[in-house]
Amino acid sequence: MSRSKFPAVVTSCTHAWGDTRPRLHGSSRHDLRSKKWAVFMACGALLTFWSSGVQARMQPSETPARILITNDNGIEDGRLVALAEAFADAGAEVWVAAPAENRSGFTNYAPATGEGVFRVKSVIMGPRIRAYAVDGSPADSVVFAVTGPMRDRPPTLVVSGMNGGANAGESWIGSGTVGAARTAAAIGLRAVAVSGVPSRPVAHHRAAADWVVDLVRAPIVSELQAPDYVTVSFPELPLDQVKGAVLAPRANRFVDAVAEKDGQSGEWETWTLKPLGISEATPGEDMEVMSRGFIAVATMRVGDMELDRMAALARRADVLPSWTPALAAPSCPLGVGVEDAAAGARVFQVAPDGVAQAIGLKSGDILIQVDETNLVGLDSPVRTMSDALAGKSCGSEVALRVQRNDVVLELTVRRLRQ
């Protein structure tokens, strides 16, 4: 794919993302989010072919020529500012697109992208830095930048961070910092997520930022190819006590805990999650090396499909049950039909939001109309007929005799399936 095709492809992907609206009332919010992410991941696979040309231009010991910085703590966080200044001082063309407010824990959820509308404002951050505050999530910030102001010349690298709280072990799953890097990698861009840098002392922010600049010049980032990305977790120590950086796989474990009910307010119950303990850290994993004062660096990959196992299962005939659903017969709502009628009489059901409710009928009542004049009244046969039909099964008939002035109507009304 040629570089000139990039804006059109990303824009098409964004439109597809925004067009995954539920077409049926039964579609759940979970279904909608799953559809949107599936669209975005598919688009990312296409964009990886385009981005390979950008990635190839970055060589070891070189500072990325064009960098996009984001975070999840918000654009005013001092650690983000220090990172932007460090890359600008290293000669990079620096762009910043970050949430206007704290959006920690948003993972790669992108609500503004789903709506197809970004609300942003320019922010003055310093020389050689172009910055935007985005009314959205970290992932939204990445999508806005690469489809908007950076669409003609996409970034050579995306750096998400630096934020507090190390995203070690399985905590990366809920991280907005990692989610932004993951989104960039899905689009096809080289990406790094940096977590765990303490907010105090402020004087240490620049030291951490300068090390990140050195990191992206090193082979672990300079040779990186999407959909792979890199995560960095600082230990919970003052930076002058950090011993160095090591490659470390993520600890694949969750804290053992139990949720106990300890309160109730009206219909809502309160359950508190209480940790029971955590198993010993495995030597060499990220949480263990961090406990010894080292920065843990790991390589990650977008996509949770296990293709080898799927291919093996596809060769078997017994891995899925046959589709033989026992479908229940449809229910019989308050639909009505007229078996026979005279003098232009009509019988129909009151709609839930119909104007008939304003004259005393409720949803589902039966309304009789003669010569376009409604026959209504709480004591009229209309109410009786509604009650009679409500107790009948599908296909049952009820006779109705209505007199209006000197005209007598005899109707047979049948309850129908809709």
Q: Give the pLDDT score at 281.
A: 77
Q: Contact 199/102 with Cβ under 8 angstroms?
A: no
Indicate if the pLDDT at residue 181 is higher than 50: yes
- For the packed helices 6-18 and 138-147, what is the interaxial angle rounded to 10 degrees? 140
The mean pLDDT of 337-361, rounded to a whole number, is: 51
Least confident of 47-56, 113-122, 129-138, 201-210: 47-56
pLDDT attached to residue 329: 52
Prediction pTM value: 0.65
Residue 309's pLDDT is what? 87
What is the reported pLDDT for 364?
Answer: 55
What pLDDT, on a 0 to 100 scale, did the predictor assign at position 368? 57
The pLDDT confidence band at residue 346, using thresholds 50, 70 and 90, is low
User: Where residue 230 falls among pLDDT bands split at 50, 70, 90?
Assistant: very high
> Which of 85-94, 169-178, 246-255, 257-266 is predicted with the least confidence, judged by mean pLDDT?
246-255
Q: Which of 113-117, 185-189, 333-337 is predicted with the least confidence, judged by mean pLDDT? A: 333-337
CA distance to 126, 160, 206, 213, per residue, from 201 (Å): 21, 21, 10, 20
Percent above pLDDT 70 for the chain? 62
pLDDT mean over 187-209: 93
Average pLDDT value for the chain? 76
CB distance 180 to 136 below 8 Å: no
